[in-house]
Amino acid sequence: MKNKKKYVFIVLFESFFTPETDEKEKSKVLPENKELYRNWRGIQRDQLGISANLYMVFASAILGYVVNFLVTNKGKIECVPNVTLSISLCFLLLSLVFYVLFTHNRLKDFRETARYLKSGKSEDEVSRLTSGLGEFTWCLYDLQRFSLIVGFCISLIGLFIYIYS
């Protein structure tokens, strides 16, 4: 019988360690759990990037579909679905712009963190100095997600109007 590795995942239900509560939660971390906290933050950072990339792929795919639909049906689409789909294009493009800004800000945050750590600053001081960049990253992530959802919903409305008119 082969030895099966068992993976243990610790789920923290009380807090999701968002930037707003990060400092409060970090102060509650016991010294023996500090390594666990670092690992958890690393996982959160990775998941943030993965989900932002996924939103970018969805926005690109929906944008491509709507553009293709508008180009192939040019002249056949009435005014209301055409305007609705054009508005959805604006929101989808906005989602992609927020993705680019999100990625740029995230890389800037990594660069600043590395620079501060290299200069010998303490972990708490680095966290305090880069917290603004982290909060702005989360803001851009939320804006990317919001504009994708709005663009998707408006494009669905435009397609339904086209189909049922």
pLDDT by residue (tens digit) across 38-49? Answer: 778 778 888 989
Query: Average pLDDT of the chain?
Result: 83
Residue at token pair 């008119």:
165
- Of 52, 55, 61, which Cα lies nearest the Cα of 155? 61
Share of the chain above pLDDT 90, in %: 52
Whole-number Å distance between alpha carbons of 61 and 67? 10
- Of 144, 130, 125, 132, which Cα lies nearest the Cα of 52? 144
Type of residue found at 112: E
pLDDT by residue (tens digit) across 102-145? Answer: 999 999 998 998 898 889 888 888 888 888 998 999 999 999 99
- Of 94, 105, 107, which Cα lies nearest the Cα of 144? 94
State the Cα angle at 44 between 60 and 34, rounded to 5°: 165
Residue 162 has pLDDT above 50, yes or no: yes
**pTM of the predicted structure, to 2 decimals:** 0.75
pLDDT of 52:
93
Q: Where are the domains of the chain?
A: 52-163
